[in-house]
Chains A and B, each alone.
Chain A
Amino acid sequence: MLIMVNDETHDVTATTLADLLEELGYRGARIATALNGHFVPALQRAVTPLADGMRVEVVAPMQGG
Chain B
Amino acid sequence: MTDRIQDNREDNRMDVLFYGQALSFPLMLGTAQYPSPEILREAVLAARPGVVTVSLRREAAREKTGQAFWSLIQELGVPVLPNTAGCHTVKEAVTTAHMAREVFGTDWVKLEVIGEQDTLQPDVFGLVEAARILSEEGFKVFPYTTEDLVVAERLLACGCEVLMPWGAPIGSGRGLNNVFGLRALRAHFPGVPLVVDAGLGVPSHAAQALELGYDAVLINTAVARAGDPAQMARAFRLAVEAGQLGRKADPMEERDMAAPSTPVAGKAFLG
Contact = CB atoms under 8 A, between A and B. Distances in A.
A32 B103 contact: yes
Interface residues of B, number: 38
Given A25-B61, A30-B103, A64 B53 contact: yes
B103 A59 contact: yes
- The secondary-structure label for the interface of chain B is mixed
A59 B56 contact: yes
B95 A61 contact: no
A5 to B, nearest CB: 8
Given A6-B58, A25-B62, A64 B99 contact: no
B66 A62 contact: yes
A34 B56 contact: no
A57 B104 CA distance: 17
Nearest to A33: B99
Interface string B27-51: 0001111100000100000000000
B30 A64 contact: yes
Contacts of B61: 24-26, 29, 58
B99 A63 contact: no
Interface residues of A, number: 25
Contact of A60 (B33, B83, B103, B220): B103
Contact of A64 (B58, B83, B95, B98): B83
Interface string A28-65: 01111110011101100000000000000111111111
A6 B60 contact: yes
Contact of B58 (A37, A38, A57): A57
A31 to B, nearest CB: 6
Nearest to A8: B60
A60 B67 contact: yes
A63 B32 contact: yes
A65 B73 contact: no
A37 B66 contact: no
B239 to A, nearest CB: 18
Contacts of A6: 58-60
A4 B256 CA distance: 66
A33 B85 CA distance: 17
B151 interface: no
B69 interface: yes
B189 interface: no
A13 to B, nearest CB: 16
B98 A61 contact: no
Contact of B69 (A29, A34, A38, A63): A63
Given A32-B102, A37-B91, A65 B57 contact: no
Given A37-B95, A63-B30, 4 more contacts: A6-B58, A59-B99, A62-B54, A65-B53
Interface of B: 30-34, 40, 53-62, 64-67, 69-70, 73, 82-83, 85, 91, 95, 98-100, 102-104, 170, 218, 220-221
15 contacts: A6-B58, A25-B62, A30-B70, A31-B103, A41-B98, A58-B58, A58-B59, A60-B64, A60-B70, A61-B69, A62-B55, A62-B57, A64-B30, A65-B33, A65-B220
Interface of A: 6-7, 24-26, 29-34, 37-39, 41-42, 57-65
